[in-house]
Amino acid sequence: MDFPIEETVDHARPMKVIVIGAGISGILASIRFPRRIPNLDLVVYDKNPEVGGTWFENRYPGAACDIPAPVYQATFEPNPNWSEFYASSQEILQYWKGIVAKYGAGKYMKLSHKVIEARFNDVESKWHVKIENCLTGAVTWDSCDVLYGCLGALNDWKWPDIPGLSSFKGKLVHSAAWDEKINVDGLSVAVIGLGSSAIQIVPSLQPKVKHLYNYARGQTWILPPMAEGEVRKHTDTGSNFKFTPEEINEFNERPDKLLEYRKRLDSEVQTMTKYLVRGELSDQATAAFTKHMTEKLAKKPEILGKIIPSFAPGCRRITPGPGYLEAVTEENVSFISEPISKITEDGIVTVDGNLRKVDIIVCATGFDTSFSQRFPIYGSGNLDLSAKWKEYPESYLSMSTHGIPNYFIAHGPNSGVGSGSIVIVLERTCDYVSKVIAKMQKDRIATIQPRQAACSLFKTYAEDFFKKTVFSLSCRSWYKRGAQDGPVTALWPGSSLHFVKVLEKPKFEDYEYTYIGEDNMAWMGNGFTKAELDPAISASDYLDPENIDYPSV
């Protein structure tokens, strides 16, 4: 009996997976994939010299998470030592770097290596990936069975399209590419934008500058800080909420207390989606937000009419913005709602003809959220993914699309959450993809991609869901690729908990496959198991207690 052991039914064929990006999703993949997929060859490429993704890149003053830190962490690695309720980018970065070190994930990572092209070979059923060494400029190729894009949704920044921007003689900086050598002390500074970055930058710079001009094209809602709710009381420092030493000690000494607190806070955060459905609860949120902002802007009530939106909270991204409303009421801050007409060599001119001279211009003007790819990705038959998604980024459950086989995405189209933590979603996305890869491995699947019908049905489901929510109201938002109106392409059509539940178990009938050697029964192997052909393996470990499902009596 001379059967090769490689062909047994329980043989795990070798699988090569390339992960693009060493942010949160890439870190999770480097921990989960090797533990759940046997015989795996894994490599994680990232253009940055360190892990962390957006938390490595975003270093602007005040950069922080806009949801509570105890919710924005891995389920398997609770941190009792958060110093702030809304943790800074540096503290979050250190947390994830600690996870990489603890679980040995760094051995899979090739940092300072930028993916510049990915092309699927239909004959080989493999991806060929072109990589540039950011330190040497050398270009090499790698190949894999499965490509996992962990690129993030908010890290492809761009300069605003303002006439004369390049003519400015002072210091020009973008919030997503902050120059840490900048000293704003005693200078006049303009901050362009009213998104989450600008709302964090303004209160951080205000105490240091001679004068700060905040140019706000639109309107936004500022969320009342959750720390003012019933979950717990915090010490209000004026710009953030600190955990006391006593609380940190208790969380370290009593893991049960930490878990209880995390669950209560997580529940409050995750269930806020109900306020984003049009109706009575949305009206209540509007009233509460209006009251909060009115009180905070009491020193400069004229700002209220300029900043309060006509749309309900949630149509645009909401941020808690600790300290922002207080900052714009200070004497050295001007809130300017007139549109910018041009930038000169020494300042900014608004449409009313007013020139305000400044030393520094900070562009907190966001990112490219069109889901156009940052490098060419060619699927089956050389299908260009950017061209496919130019009009609408159609996907299946945000993770894959028809025509681009063996490619999965973390934080793809329709994967953002209107409320709740994205981290648990990224965890479950990683779990989902690991199950798909395991199925490919076991069933000898050469290619897998969602059916076109499944993608179309998901699009219809999303469109129907958003019609009943505040997201579809008329407001300019990155949720709609920067448009005032149009399809919501960035958010999940449901609550974050709904997303987590959907990802629990892949619906494999929504996919189409090709098989290695076109043999659909190749997964059955040669009729034997490894244990029967290898005397070193027990053939009856199914009798071990841990492998028996004992019924209750």
Average pLDDT of the segment spanning 91-102: 98
Average pLDDT of the segment spanning 46-63: 94
pLDDT at 367: 64
Weakest mean pLDDT among 216-230, 264-278, 314-328, 352-366: 216-230
Q: What is the pLDDT of residues 134-178, one digit of tens each?
A: 999 999 999 999 999 999 766 667 888 999 999 999 999 999 889
Beta strands in 38-108 (DSSP E): 40-46
CB 308 within 8 A of CB 293: yes
CA 518, distance to chain mean position in Å, is 38
CA distance linking residue 114 with residue 523, whole number of Å: 36
Q: What CATH code would you report for 14-156+370-514?
A: 3.50.50.60
Weakest mean pLDDT among 19-28, 51-60, 363-372: 363-372
Is 226 a residue whose pLDDT tops 60? Answer: no
Is 301 a residue whose pLDDT tops 90? Answer: yes
Token pair belonging to 253:
């000494």
Is 232 a residue whose pLDDT tops 60? Answer: no
CA distance linking residue 356 with residue 285, whole number of Å: 36
Weakest mean pLDDT among 110-114, 171-175, 274-278: 274-278
Average pLDDT of the segment spanning 48-60: 93
Weakest mean pLDDT among 364-373, 396-405, 487-496: 364-373
Work out the mean pLDDT of the chain and round it to a whole number: 90
Weakest mean pLDDT among 16-20, 151-155, 422-426: 151-155
Weakest mean pLDDT among 112-116, 268-272, 301-305, 461-465: 268-272
Report residue 10's pLDDT band, with 50, 70 and 90 as the boundaries: confident
CA distance linking residue 327 with residue 342, whole number of Å: 26
pLDDT at 234: 38
CB 189 within 8 A of CB 358: yes
pLDDT top residue among 543 and 18: 18
CB atoms within 10 A of CB 263: 11
In three-state secondary structure terms, 133 is strand
pLDDT at 302: 95
Average pLDDT of the segment spanning 57-64: 91
pLDDT at 6: 64
Q: What is the pLDDT of residues 445-487, one digit of tens each?
A: 999 999 999 999 999 999 999 998 888 888 888 888 878 888 9
SS (H, E, C) 12-27: CCCEEEEEECCCHHHH
CA distance linking residue 158 with residue 173, whole number of Å: 11
CA 417, distance to chain mean position in Å, is 9
CB 377 within 8 A of CB 403: no
User: Which residues, in sequence order, are CB contacts of 336 under 8 Å at separation 6+?
Assistant: 213, 214, 215, 216, 350, 356
pLDDT at 155: 63
Average pLDDT of the segment spanning 354-364: 96
Angle between helices 24-36 and 422-442 (to 10 degrees): 40
Token pair belonging to 389:
């998604």
Instruction: Sort residue 406 into left (φ over 0), alpha (ψ -120 to 50) or beta.
Output: left
User: Which residues, in sequence order, are CB contacts of 435 under 8 Å at separation 6+?
Assistant: 36, 505, 506
pLDDT top residue among 107 and 13: 107
Residues paired with 148 in a beta bridge = 19, 408
Residue 123, class by beta-carbon neighbours within 10 Å (0-12 exposed, 13-18 middle, 19+ buried)? exposed
Is 520 a residue whose pLDDT tops 70? Answer: yes
Report residue 370's pLDDT band, with 50, 70 and 90 as the boundaries: low
Give pTM, 2 decimals. Answer: 0.91
* Residue ranges of domains in the chain: 14-156+370-514, 517-547
